[in-house]
Amino acid sequence: MTLNDTTSPSAPLARPWLAQYGDHIPRTLPPPAHRHLAALIGAACQRYRDQVAFTTCMPNGMHASLTFAQVESLSDQFAVYLREVLGLPAGARVALQTPNCLAYPVVAFGIFKAGCVLVNTNPLYTPKEMAHQFKDSGAEALVIVDMFADKLDAILAQTKIKRVIVAEVSQFFSMIPRGVIRLVQKWWNRTLPPITVDHIRLPQALAEGRAALQSKGLRVADYTRDQGPESLAALQYTGGTTGVAKGAMLTHGNLLANHDQAYAMGRALIHEGQEVVLTALPLYHIFAFTFNLLCFFTAGARNVLSPSPRPIGNLQRAFDNYPITWMSGVNTLYNALLNEEWFTAFPPKHLRAAVAGGAALQHAVAERWRRVTGTVIAEGYGLTETSPVVAFNPLTGKQKPDAIGIPVPATDVRLVDDQGRDVPPGAPGELIVRGPQVMQGYWQRPEDTAQVLKDGWLCTGDVAVMDEEGYFRIVDRKKDMILVSGFNVYPNEVEDAIAQLDAVLEVAVIGVPDAKTGEAVRAYIVPQADGLTEEQVRAHCKGLLTDYKLPKAVEFRTELPKSPIGKILRKDLRDEYRARQKS
């Protein structure tokens, strides 16, 4: 059976998007070539041994690299450290809490090789958020960047963590650059707090793993001998559609399938062994994890890691010093680059493709990117619960603006109304997904799982429309929809209209209570410069939107709340508005 064989005999589905695959995208996919991620990683390391796999590029241009062979050796050592030195069993959860740096792939790949489960953790989390994730996952070991290890003081005793391993952003740099970076962190930026909890440094852990590997004559491959596609690979935490952060259970099969699906969509433009991909999005986020880390590692690409793209000028040296051919990002990242003179004056000349996800790509941003770089941003769609890719605009063939494209191979998508009935093309409905990339459920939360996984379909909570050719467009989140006098208003549409004003840098739209209309549209705008007025915004919108969609109030800000990947957080704006009304 191929991965594409997902249709119910009693209810065959129309798949108009298959006609758009053309000659470049396969209609079916064979089972993944490897049983687990450790095998996938090992095969790439053998094929591209002497090539550079990862480069950390600091904002000042200082850098360090690891070859595929070095990544293989170091991740083997870490796997042995987990199993032999710490004595962790297969299936033990290991938390990884670092920004983009060379330590990340070494540790993540080592976790997979050990047969353990990766728990990706945002290094910017508060102690409360860390405690929840560590306790919920049952993590027994933690690899954390030194800049934030002081957060452990208040929470470590509440968790099952037996060993803390401390990593550095400058890990694997040569002595002089590492010393300079450490001095700047300690004395200038003051970002190296004292670490008071019991811990071990990553180089020492690797040395202990290496010693055990040599003295015991071990075969690292034996750790994953009993692992297969159904084995749990990662707990990827997400707020899901509602509620507290939950661990999406992603198996090796889920991630391998999505790797193959995403790779199939871009294979025609991927030159194996020759690509240079810029990773500005954090690797602990599922988008960068699957697309940047897994897909381009197996393609033999050089992965240029940016520890932090904020401020956006931090990326200048990466663009200056490396022939970037691919990159991924969110709308705010692309918009920020387009507002940097160094970028628009000297756009990347080797860039082959850019991809966007995580939030709606605004039409104005996509158009300006095309004019400046001569390339398109291919917008896609996915969720943590789908490993994450569900749909993508084809990189070869027809692309449609303002669309998330077509489902990736082996994926079925339906749009349904509130009663679960399919809606016709052009009508909005909740997007539900079925495919081999869909998670197994939420970790130890059967009730939450039952709310989103129904009869083999994942209910996403996103509202979309499909045209006659099978291209999908996200209208908005169901919970973000604004009901004005009984009419549905989707914030994405209003935001896209406002963003077409040259004077607007960023915008977010929410619904707020209104005595006359039930809800009203409220816009938050970061202007390019002083002088933009509420009247100008409304006048501009009148030419693009019907009256009930017009913002009733406009508030100007110097910044908007964002997630770690740069997604604007409407929820935070709604919470802030409610708090202000109560005070």
Q: How far apart are CA 54 and CA 297, in angstroms?
A: 9
Exposed e or buried b per residue across 155-192, where buried means at least 16 C-beta atoms within 10 angstroms of its C-beta: bbeebebebbbbbbbbbbbeeebbeebbebbeeeeeeb
Question: Is residue 566 one of the residues assigned to a domain?
Answer: yes
205 pLDDT above the threshold of 50:
yes
Q: Give the CATH number of the domain where residue 142 resides.
A: 3.40.50.980
Radius of gyration, alpha carbons of the chain: 24
Per residue in 484-542, pLDDT (tens digit) is 887 778 898 899 999 999 999 999 999 999 888 889 999 999 999 889 999 999 999 99
244 pLDDT above the threshold of 80:
no
Per residue in 470-500, pLDDT (tens digit) is 999 988 777 888 988 877 788 988 999 999 9
Phi first, then psi: give them for residue 126, nearest 5 degrees: -75, 160
Which among 148, 71, 128, 63 has a CA at the least distance from the CA of 103?
Answer: 71
How many folded domains does the chain comprise? 2
Quote the pLDDT of residue 241. 41
Per DSSP bridges, beta strands 163-167 and 141-145 are: parallel
Question: Is residue 289 one of the residues assigned to a domain?
Answer: no
Cβ(250)–Cβ(382) under 8 Å?
no
Per residue in 356-376, pLDDT (tens digit) is 988 778 899 999 999 999 999
The whole-number average pLDDT for the span 399-409 is 92
3 pLDDT above the threshold of 60:
no
Percent share of the chain, pLDDT over 90? 80
6 pLDDT above the threshold of 50:
no
**In 43-92, which ranges are E strands?**
52-57, 63-67
Range of the domain at 142: 69-227
Number of neighbouring beta carbons within 10 Å of residue 55: 19
Within 13 Å, how many C-alpha atoms sit on residue 443's CB side? Answer: 28
Q: How far apart are CA 456 and CA 214, in angstroms?
A: 47
Per residue in 552-579, pLDDT (tens digit) is 999 999 999 998 888 899 989 999 998 9
Question: Is residue 33 one of the residues assigned to a domain?
Answer: no
Question: Is residue 296 one of the residues assigned to a domain?
Answer: no
Helix, strand, coil percentages for the chain (3-state, nearest 5) = 35, 25, 40
Quote the pLDDT of residue 397. 76
Give the DSSP per-residue string, 94-123.
EEEE--SSTHHHHHHHHHHHTT-EEEE--T
Mean pLDDT rounded to a whole number for the chain? 93
Q: How far apart are CA 309 and CA 104, in angstroms?
A: 17
Give the DSSP per-residue string, 386-442.
GSSEEEE--SSS---TT--BEEPTT-EEEEE-TTSPBPPTTS-EEEEEESTTS---B
From 227, 260, 285, the end of a domain falls on 227
Cβ(360)–Cβ(369) under 8 Å?
no
Question: Is residue 360 one of the residues assigned to a domain?
Answer: no
From 209, 227, 245, the end of a domain falls on 227
Least confident range of 148-162, 279-293, 465-479:
465-479
The whole-number average pLDDT for the span 176-181 is 91
Per residue in 18-39, pLDDT (tens digit) is 999 988 899 999 999 999 999 9
Quote the pLDDT of residue 483. 84
Q: Give the CATH number of the domain where residue 532 resides.
A: 3.30.300.30
Cβ(366)–Cβ(393) under 8 Å?
no
Helix 534-542 to helix 491-499 angle (10° resolution) is 110
Quote the pLDDT of residue 360. 79
Per residue in 212-235, pLDDT (tens digit) is 999 998 999 999 999 999 999 999
Quote the pLDDT of residue 185. 85
Say which DSSP state 487 is in.
Answer: E
4 pLDDT above the threshold of 70:
no
Question: Is residue 561 one of the residues assigned to a domain?
Answer: yes
Question: Is residue 335 one of the residues assigned to a domain?
Answer: no
From 207, 227, 247, the end of a domain falls on 227
Quote the pLDDT of residue 486. 72
Question: Is residue 400 one of the residues assigned to a domain?
Answer: no
